């Protein structure tokens, strides 16, 4: 079974803090994604990566950055957390290449910025 | 530009009743359509995709290119079907795997 693991289930951070959300996948997938999930807004893509050190902006990249130094790990960074970044964050991966099919999701990190 | 629309935010049915969750899309290329489901306190997971043309947990979905729809149907809803359902679209043949999601429909099946 593909396993996508997010380092924290719940996080509470203060406004202005730098926040790191970590995601690890164990199936040698090329593609990795960060979404935020908000009621009524569905899933919105923040950033994605199709290879080590490669990244692409999604639909809502403002206030976020990412890092992919190793294939299995994709980090989301909130440079200076704000209350409007309080949300559920989902990491996902997919195999990539010509065989790319479904995405596999982590369990989510519920971030509260106070 | 690609867009996925799920017109119903909430949908309630009684156990044993038919259920249909609507999904419409707009996309200029060749799309691949999916339904993802998130049960309470579980991670988001794939339910089915149009290419496989299979029935999962009694659910089916047919891609209608003329109406640009991919509605999810089940003839007899069960209480365990209560969940959040997301319709998603991908560029068929894309290696990047980027998905475009609708806003989701929360399905509640009453006993």
pLDDT in tens, A27-73: 999 999 999 999 989 999 999 999 998 999 999 999 999 999 999 99
CA distance A18 to chain B (A): 26
Question: Which residue in the set A42, A45, A98 is minimally distant from B104, CB to CB?
Answer: A42
Out of B44, B46, B98, whose CB is closest to A90?
B44
- What's the helix, strand, coil split of chain A in %, to 5? 5, 55, 40
Lowest-confidence pick of A15-19, B61-65, B92-96, B100-104: B92-96
CA distance linking residue A47 with residue A31, whole number of Å: 11
Pairing of strands B105-110, B10-14: parallel
Backbone angles phi, psi at B79, to 5 degrees: -60, -35
Using an 8 Å CB-CB cutoff, list chain A residues near B34.
Answer: 102
CB contact under 8 Å between A42 and B44, yes or no, is no
- Cα distances (Å, whole numbers) of residue A52 to A66, A102, B94: 11, 20, 18
Across the range B98-108, mean pLDDT stands at 95
Q: How many CB atoms lie within 10 A of CB B47?
A: 19
Helix (H) or strand (E) holding B75: none
Q: Chain A: which residues have CB within 8 Å of chain B?
A: 30-31, 33, 35, 40-45, 48, 50, 56, 58, 90, 92, 94-98, 100-108
Nearest Cα to Cα of residue A21 among A94, A102, A98, A113? A113
pLDDT value of residue A2: 64
**In chain B, which residue's Cα lies nearest the Cα of A4?**
B43
What is the pLDDT averaged over residues A98-107? 88
Q: Is the pLDDT confidence value at B92 over 90?
A: no
Task: Tell me if residue B16 falls in helix, strand or coil.
Answer: coil
Q: What is the pLDDT of residues B61-80, one digit of tens each?
A: 988 888 999 999 999 999 99
pLDDT surpasses 80 at B102: yes
Helix H or strand E segment including A52: none
């Amino acid at each position: 079974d593909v396993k996508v693991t997010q380092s924290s289930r719940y996080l509470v951070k203060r406004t202005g803090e730098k926040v790191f959300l970590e995601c690890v996948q164990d199936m040698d997938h090329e593609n990795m994604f960060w979404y935020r999930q908000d009621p009524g807004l569905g899933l919105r893509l923040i950033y994605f990566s199709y290879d080590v050190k490669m990244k692409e902006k999604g639909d809502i990249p403002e206030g976020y950055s990412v890092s992919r130094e190793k294939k299995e790990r994709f980090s989301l960074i909130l440079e200076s957390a704000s209350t409007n970044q309080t949300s559920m964050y989902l990491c996902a991966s997919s195999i990539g290449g010509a065989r790319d099919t479904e995405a596999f999701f982590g369990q989510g990190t519920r971030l509260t910025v106070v | 530009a690609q867009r996925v629309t799920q017109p119903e935010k909430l949908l309630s049915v009684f156990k044993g009743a038919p259920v249909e969750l609507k999904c419409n899309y707009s996309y200029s290329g060749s799309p691949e359509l999916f339904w993802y489901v998130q049960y309470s306190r579980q991670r988001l997971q794939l339910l089915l995709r149009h290419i496989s043309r299979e029935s999962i947990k009694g659910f089916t979905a047919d891609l209608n290119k003329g109406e640009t729809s991919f509605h999810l149907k089940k003839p007899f809803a069960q209480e365990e079907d209560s969940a959040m359902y997301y319709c998603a679209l991908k560029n068929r043949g894309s290696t990047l795997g980027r998905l475009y999601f609708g806003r989701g429909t929360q399905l509640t099946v009453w006993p």
